Copies of this chain bind each other. A is one copy, B any other.
Amino acid sequence: MNRVFVHDQLIRFSHCDPAMIVYFPRFFDLAHSTMEDWFTDGLGIPLPELIRDRRIGTPTVKIDCDFVKPLRMGDTLRFELRVSRLGNASVNIDYRGTKNGIEHLQITQTVVFMNLDEAQATPIPGDIRQKLEAFLVATDNGS
Chain A positions within 8 Å of B, measured between CB atoms, are 12-14, 16-21, 23-26, 28-29, 32-33, 36, 46-49, 51, 57, 59-68, 70, 72-74, 116
Number of copies of this protein chain within its complex: 4
**Top 3 A-B pairs, shortest CB-CB distance:** A48-B74, A25-B28, A64-B64
Are B61 and A63 in touch, CB under 8 angstroms?
Answer: no
Tell whether A64 pairs with B67 under 8 Å between CB atoms, given A14-B23, A32-B13, A32-B25. Answer: no
Most buried by B among A13, A23, A26, A33: A13
Tell whether A36 pairs with B13 under 8 Å between CB atoms, given A63-B24, A64-B64. Answer: yes
CA distance A135 to B29 in the complex (A): 31
